[in-house]
Amino acid sequence: MPTEAAELVFDEATKVYPGRDGAAVDHLSLTVPAGEICVLVGPSGGGKTTALKLVNRLIELTSGDIRIDDRSIRDHDLTELRRSIGYVIQQVGLFPHMTIEANIGTVPKLLGRPRSWIKERSAELLDLVGLDPSYAKRFPAQLSGGERQRVGLARGLAANPSLMLMDEPFGAIDPIVRARLQDEFLRLQEELRKTVVFVTHDIDEAIKVGDRIAILRQGGRLAQYDTPQRILDAPADEFVADFVGRDRALKALSLRTLGELELAPLEAGALDGLPQLPADTNLRDALAVLVGARRDTLVVLGADASPLGVVRRADLIG
């Protein structure tokens, strides 16, 4: 039951909190194409969470407009608007007194779906986010942080929204689990193709997750809105260059994998002692391995762990 992903447009969206100097979000204009992940990133005070909450009207616009598939969010009934948008937050906000199944079924229940439908749907979603079906009857307190966040994601997806809002969804999770959740989220997105607005303060996460990145600066002004590659290759100004960091060339390496390079043929017997890496390793990690091993060449492995060819250090950074 796939829903068409929605196109999201910020049109001069502005939020000024009463009694405070300056705007929190200042004439923000950008378009998120249907089915893409737009990451809002920036320093604290950049208004990224405010911008996100403007979309489901947890915070009301002061001026400007936001449109979902050409329809202004002001023209929607408030609760209907929110029920049609998936919402995932950092602290997850699972209902402690409800089972995992009931948590996942929150929005479907609000929409009047029958109990049997909710049961089936939550089993399907548990599977989708990689949790055992036995979790359905557990309570949130029985889950680890990473598992809770998976449930949060499943809950956000439950009513099959065409737009997802994710506010630092992996922010409170330890780095190893976070990296895994990011990978799984990206794999899910391959399949689901939702339009996603994703807030983070972590530029590395933004580069990894985003199809497009919007960098917001103090006062909620848009500094640059572009693909990760473009932002790393050509920062619009000093602020963006500063924010992405001096290692932006290295970060750019993380956008490509060994499999995308032209490989040199294997020379028989020459593999001895060379580092071996799977083809889906990104170039940044590959370079790190080469530096660590004090080598100049590495072997690229295929999916079946058979060597495909070799790559030289110069090819990585060239």
Partner 1 sequence: MSGLLVAGGPVIPNFGKPNACLKNNGWFCTHWIHEHWHDILQPALIQHIQLVVIAVAIGFAISFPLAVIGYRFSPLDPVLGVFADFLYTIPSIAFFLLLVPLTGVTVTTVEVALVSFTLFIFYRNIVVGLRSVPPDVLESARGMGMSRRQTFWRVELPLARPAIFAGLRIATVATISIATLAAFLIQDGLGAPIFDALGTPDLFHTELLVAGGLAILLALTADFLLAGLQRAVTPWTRVR
Q: Does 139 bind partner 1 (CB under 8 A)?
A: yes
Query: Judged by CB, which is closer to partner 1: 110, or 293?
Result: 110
Closer Cβ to partner 1, 155 or 194, answer by number: 155
CB of 95 to partner 1, least distance (A): 6
Nearest approach in angstroms of CB 301 to partner 1 is: 43
Smallest distance from the beta carbon of 290 to partner 1, in angstroms? 43
Q: By CB under 8 A, tell whether 291 contacts partner 1.
A: no
Chain residues 50-89 in contact with partner 1, contact rule CB under 8 A: 56, 58, 78-84, 87, 89
* Binding positions for partner 1, 207-266, rule CB under 8 A: none
Binder of partner 1 out of 23, 37, 48, 106 (CB under 8 A): 106
17 vs 95, beta carbon nearer partner 1: 95
Task: Considering only the stretches 119-127, 139-147, 173-181, 284-292, report the one whose residues sit in contact with partner 1 under the rule CB under 8 A.
Answer: 139-147
Q: Tell the smallest beta-carbon distance from residue 219 to partner 1 (Å).
A: 24
Pick 97 or 187: Cβ nearer partner 1? 97
DSSP result, the chain: -PPPPPPEEEEEEEE--TTSSS-SEEEEEEEE-TT-EEEEE-STTS-HHHHHHHHTTSS--SEEEEEETTEEGGGS-HHHHHHTEEEEETT----TTS-HHHHHTHHHHHTT--HHHHHHHHHHHHHHTT--GGGGGS-GGGS-HHHHHHHHHHHHHTT--SEEEEESTTTTS-HHHHHHHHHHHHHHHHHH--EEEEEES-HHHHHHH-SEEEEEETTTEEEEEE-HHHHHHS-SSHHHHHHH-TTHHHHHHTTSBGGGSPPBPP-TTTTTT--EEETTSBHHHHHHHHHHHT-SEEEEE-TTS-EEEEEEHHHHH-
Residue with Cβ nearer partner 1 (95 or 117): 95
107 binds partner 1, rule: CB under 8 A: yes
Query: Binding residues for partner 1, per CB under 8 A?
Result: 56, 58, 78-84, 87, 89-98, 106-107, 110, 138-142, 155, 165
